[in-house]
Amino acid sequence: MSPVGSYESLMAAIQGGADSVYFGVGKLNMRSRSANNFTLDDLVKIASIARDHGVRTYLTVNTIIYNEELEEMRLTVRTAKEAGISAIIASDMAVIAYANSIGMEIHISTQCNISNVEAVRYYSKFADVMVTARELPLRQVAEITQFIRDNDIRGPKGELVEIEVFGHGALCMSVSGKCYLSLDNYNYSANRGACLQLCRRQYLVKDLESDMELVVDNKYIMSPKDLKTIDFLDKIIHAGVKVLKIEGRGRSADYVKVVTQCYKEAARAIDEGTYTPERIAAWNERLATVFNRGFWDGYYLGRKLGEWSERYGSQATETKIYLGKVSNYFNRIGVAEVRLETANTIAVGDRYIVMGQTTGVYDDTLREIRLNRGPVQEARQGDAFSFATSEPLHRGDKVYKVVQTIDEF
């Protein structure tokens, strides 16, 4: 299950091989401030695009709901059902009860902190899929899935309840995202989708009486590294997990495509008996090219304490440099025209990425550049250059050059 914060990301998830996607609309979701969000008017189009590609769609309505928002919540859930959205992801009982009353499929959010079999038994009255608490080790996840099978725990559709876990992306220092740091400091509540991520910053430890400041070896002691499970995905599958959730609705489309592709390939490799150390190393190398704060394996393998980020922001090994937009595309000959807007250059042999709402993510190496119908080795700012592509692009698509990140630390 892949994160979608834009139409570019939706197409990227589909290109990466996602079986399902999740996204938010408006303010009643846990990424209402930090990620792009669709509107209710987008739901029919999203459902149609996904359905055409055999992909299920899940709408997040997983914030705390206040009295004055009940009608907005009901409208959101009704509209999702009418638009053909596959299910909603919810944590507030007002949302769960209303969705259940109109026959809308429900998935239980990680905000419900499901960590035992009785919680699964209770929520099975409403939901077909449940996300377990992020802090559970795989041993306990396996106990829950075994309990579901042994006790024939079924959801509203009459099928065995399925367990979903987070497989990749950002982790929070708090239990299942229940944090009040942002609310306490800036009156923006994490539980209302408005977290300012104060934990990701560096802090000084100061003695208020003497003004003495203490140096902390790791400056980011509240900012966990990102979760990565591709090294032990076989153990997750063997624990009975049915859905692997990729975090990152605020990430770019290339992140969505790369991460989805890697985990899809790994899952297939496990099924086919080709899940080897060599392939795992190759996937790790690809995952490192897109946004990450460094990686660790979370709590699944029994760790008691997290690993903390060594710096602020991304540690990706590759960087995208914006060049310009596709001004024209000639379908008959498969050639794109781009005006280079920025003070950068691109040369034959450079790798580039094109992203757009219909294009998704197109990744290729520049084999030829033509300027005024003649071949050149390099294009510069102001040049309207053309190049051949193996897949169609579209006017307005954004073009980036991909370079290796220079590590300044």
Find the mean pLDDT for residues 188-193: 63
Using alpha carbons, select from 338, 317, 331, 345 the residue that is nearest to residue 398: 338
For 62-92, write each residue's pLDDT tens digit. Answer: 888 999 999 999 999 999 999 999 999 999 9
For 28-57, write each residue's pLDDT tens digit. Answer: 866 555 556 799 999 999 999 999 999 999
* Contact predicate 379/332, CB 8 Å: no
Predicted pLDDT at 36: 61
For 217-257, write each residue's pLDDT tens digit. Answer: 666 666 788 999 999 999 999 999 999 999 999 899 999 99
pLDDT value at 409 more than 50: no
Q: Which alpha helices (H) appear in 65-179, and where do they start and end?
A: 70-83, 93-101, 117-123, 138-150
**Cα separation of 104 and 85, whole Å?**
9
Strand segments, DSSP code E, in 312-373 are 318-330, 335-340, 346-347, 351-356, 360-365, 369-371
For 282-302, write each residue's pLDDT tens digit. Answer: 999 999 999 999 999 998 998
Q: What share of the chain is helix, strand, coil (3-state, %, to 5)?
A: 30, 25, 45
- Least confident stretch, 111-125, 127-141, 174-188, 348-362: 174-188
For 52-62, write each residue's pLDDT tens digit. Answer: 999 999 999 98
**Cα separation of 257 and 359, whole Å?**
12
Prediction pTM value: 0.90
What whole-number percentage of the chain has pLDDT above 70? 88
Which residues are within 8 A (CB) of 240 and not within 5 positions of it... i.e. 6 or more apart? Answer: 141, 142, 144, 145, 146, 148, 149, 163
User: Residue 143: exposed, middle, or buried by beta-carbon count in 10 A (0-12, 13-18, 19+)?
Assistant: middle
